[in-house]
Amino acid sequence: MKKTLLLIMAVALCTSLMAQYQTPAALNKQAVPMTKNLTTVGASIQDADATIPTTRPSIMLSEPGYGFYLTGQTHYYLPTNTNSRNTISFRQSSPHAAACWTTANRQNNSRGTGINYYDVAEENWRPLPPANARIETAVRTGWGAHGFTSQGEIVVAHNGLANDEGGLVVNTRDHWGQDDWNQYVLKCTPYTMSDDWQGLETYDATGLLWPTMVTNGNTVHLIAVTEQWPFDGNNDPCDEYPHGYVVNGKNYSTVPLYYRSTDGGKTWDIQEHHFGNEGMTDYEFRKITGDSYVLAVRGEHVVFLFESTGGFINYMESWDNGSTWAKKEVYSCADFIDPVAAPLPDRLMPSTSAIYIDENHKVHVAFGTKVTFKENGNCHTWIRSFLPAGMVYWNSDHDPINWEDLAVDISESGDYYSSAFYSYPRYIDLPTVLGFDKFYLWVGGPEYNTDQFRDNGWAIHPRIVARDGRVFLSYQSLLDWPLSPSGGNFYRGIFMTVSEDDGETWEVQKNTSWLSYHPELFQANWDDFEEPEYAGNDTWIWDPNSISVSTRTENAYPTMSSNMKDSRVFLQWYHKEGPFMDENNPFLFDPVLIYTLNQGLWMFPEFNNIQEIWQGKWNKIDENTQPTVSAKIFPNPATDGMVYVQVDTDAPYTVAVTNIMGQVVHTTQETQDMAKINISTFAPGVYIVNVKTDKAITSQKLIVK
């Protein structure tokens, strides 16, 4: 058990367009709850109750066939440099699923791709494979991505080899989950690289690195990058390179390349497409690096999202199955690109990102952010790791984002800043697990360990799905004060938040769930938990023993299936005791566990527990908390006719349906395990279905279209 200490002192924020924050000298090295609802500047709180969460019952994992599963294990815990890739998905024509990960053997420094399959009949994954089990033979690989084809499957990973041995290791088979794998190496046309920057000792390379992949039937879409020309302290990434991959007569250190197969990955009819003629700029080519891209597909509609904290997040779009492409702008900071520009205000820049195409072919984008700055006359950018930031949402109905909407202004002394992004309507101010509606600012205290976060920021690795006007966003976020007071390591957790209006607004306090806070996955001792105290003038009294929790587990590196079956999704993440700390050496003797969560989308946002955490009502039974009864509503959403409520109880129960005004529009008493609701007279909208026995209750949302 390790001890984390969260030191809290209240300050205030203005809720004007440029929300302001002033650091009193007494707040040195304290964590500050940055709450939007506070209305004064200083240590006095006018609305203390606004920071005190309320509790509500949770209905987690009440459906049969849904739950947490131990899926795999590995001795290597670095699954990505930046974005979460497609490593877990449902088979396209059945509710079966597969998950893959980078497995390893520390003793001989080997790596490969581990895999497991979800068995619908057993409602569980197949037996746990060994931590060093792998698909590939006779070669060291990493960063495997998996996809189902029409009847079979494909796994692509890189071998990381130099010279003409480098490439992507492709494994295919005609029948998923059985038969032998057929393995070959997909190589790039040779290009000139160097293993000694100053001496310019060059070699011809065929390497491709960090693949990401999506499949649709037997069509496979694949993006990977060429090897990266090495940097040293004297070379400027703004400069042109003497060698490297050549696009339109210019040399680049690394270039993203697109590949397409229409026969399940056996052959590739489009190879090495580089987007140089469809609008991708020289600067974008220079800044794209490992895993800073992700793919999505729906039918023949394909999108390739790419980002950099150097100043952009955009995507290439194809409507003809990858044959032709056009560039779409989400957020570009052209002034940050110019190395001779005058000093400019800091701003939020993308760190890790996700993209999704919904059933109406609307493109949804979400990205984590970092506060980024640039010095005069330099094309480098840096981050201010002590400033917390959430995520930004965008979709293809919106105009490109203006950088002024995400601007930050910091005083020369560094003790004052103002920010426009708090007022940006689609900035997602992700809440903390203590119930506040903002992250904590470590005032004069530890910046986060950039090795632990791979310099990506506070809320990272988003995955996004959208359906029927609701947008579901999963992500990883820090939990508390770091273990080391000099800037050490945080515990991290897996979260899901939901927008009910197609991403236009995000009620994070109402609709956010801490998915990895579960007795099997995260243990917290709340027995000595004390609520903050207030003085007569609503001043928050600082007590180092207040909000002190013992924790022992870490959950990080999430990904979510980009497809769904019967409104259910799979989430996958890595789990171990204690934070993942040294990512320069990610091999471990003890295995890291791969967990998955199989859950129905209708459980979100009803599975809301972040406010309960503050009261310690999740991992222990509270006698004042009414137990829940398991119930399933289908179809949901519904259009007309009958809706059915399947209830797992032998006791008599009551079903009552209320509209958003709280008016009861239907009620019935039942003794069978299935209740019927005639919705033919219901107006379109959102309703609450309450199922109650004499000992238990549950409430779920019904959408009538």
pLDDT of residue 413: 58
Where, residue-wise, is CATH 2.60.40.10 in the chain?
Answer: 626-704
Strand order in 110-119's β-sheet?
88-90, 97-105, 110-119, 124-125
* Residue appearing with tokens 């990080």: 556
Q: Could you tell me which residue, 588 or 107, shows the higher pLDDT?
A: 588
- % of the chain residues with pLDDT over 90: 37
pLDDT of residue 420: 84
pLDDT at 311 exceeding the cut of 90: no
pLDDT of residue 52: 33
- Would you state the structure tokens that stand for residue 69, as one six-digit string? 């599963």
pLDDT at 211 exceeding the cut of 60: yes
Q: What is the mean pLDDT of the chain?
A: 77
Angle at 381 between CA 377 and CA 385, to 5 degrees: 135
CA atoms within 13 A on the CB side of 84: 33
**Distance (Å, rounded) from C-alpha 424 to C-alpha 503?**
13
Q: Could you tell me which residue, 122 or 325, shows the higher pLDDT?
A: 325
The domain covering 626-704 belongs, at the CATH homologous superfamily level, to Immunoglobulins (2.60.40.10)
Q: Could you tell me which residue, 674 or 57, shows the higher pLDDT?
A: 674
pLDDT of residue 21: 25
Cβ(685)–Cβ(701) below 8 Å? no
**Distance (Å, rounded) from C-alpha 11 to C-alpha 46?**
10
pLDDT at 481 exceeding the cut of 60: no
**Helix or strand holding residue 285 (H, E):** helix 282-287
Our CA dihedral for 454, 456, 457, 460, rounded to 10 degrees, sits at -110
**Distance (Å, rounded) from C-alpha 478 to C-alpha 453?**
10
Q: Is 106 helix (H, G, I), strand (E, B) or coil?
A: helix
How many residues are present in the chain? 705
pLDDT band at 535 (very low <50, low <70, confident <90, very high): low
pLDDT band at 240 (very low <50, low <70, confident <90, very high): low
Nearest one of 632, 630, 695, 698 to 62, comparing CA atoms: 630
Q: What is the DSSP string of 585-648?
A: S-EEEEEEEEEEEEEEGGGTTTS--HHHHHHT-SSS--TTSPP--EEEEESSSB-SSEEEEEEE
pLDDT at 350 exceeding the cut of 60: yes
Cβ(236)–Cβ(263) below 8 Å? no
pLDDT at 584 exceeding the cut of 80: no
pLDDT band at 177 (very low <50, low <70, confident <90, very high): very high
Q: What is the DSSP string of 404-463?
A: GGGEEEE-TTSSEEEESGGGSTTEE-PPPTTS-SS-EEEETSPPP-HHHHTT--SEEEEE
**Distance (Å, rounded) from C-alpha 540 to C-alpha 545?**
14
- Would you state the structure tokens that stand for residue 563, as one six-digit string? 């497809």
Cβ(597)–Cβ(570) below 8 Å? yes
- % of the chain residues with pLDDT over 70: 72
pLDDT at 446 exceeding the cut of 80: no
Cβ(540)–Cβ(46) below 8 Å? no
**Distance (Å, rounded) from C-alpha 88 to C-alpha 106?**
25
Quick one: DSSP state of residue 491? Answer: -
pLDDT at 547 exceeding the cut of 50: no
Cβ atoms within 10 Å, residue 48 = 18
pLDDT at 337 exceeding the cut of 90: no
pLDDT at 29 exceeding the cut of 50: no
Instruction: Give residues with Cβ within 8 angstroms of 428, minimum separation 6.
Output: 366, 390, 391, 392, 393, 473, 497, 506, 508
SS3 content of the chain, % helix, strand, coil (to 5): 5, 45, 50
Cβ atoms within 10 Å, residue 290 = 17
> What are 656-690's pLDDT values in tens digits?
887 755 567 888 888 888 899 999 888 888 788 88
Quick one: DSSP state of residue 28? Answer: T
pLDDT band at 218 (very low <50, low <70, confident <90, very high): very high
pLDDT of residue 44: 26
> What are 135-167's pLDDT values in tens digits?
999 899 999 999 999 999 999 999 988 888 999
* Residue appearing with tokens 């917390």: 388
Cβ(470)–Cβ(499) below 8 Å? yes
- Would you state the structure tokens that stand for residue 663, as one six-digit string? 């008016």
Q: What is the 3-state secondary structure (H, E, C) of 176-205?
A: CCCCCCEEEEECCCCEEEEEECCCCEEEEE
What's the N-to-C CA distance of the chain in angstroms?
49
**Distance (Å, rounded) from C-alpha 453 to C-alpha 386?**
13
Cβ(574)–Cβ(88) below 8 Å? no
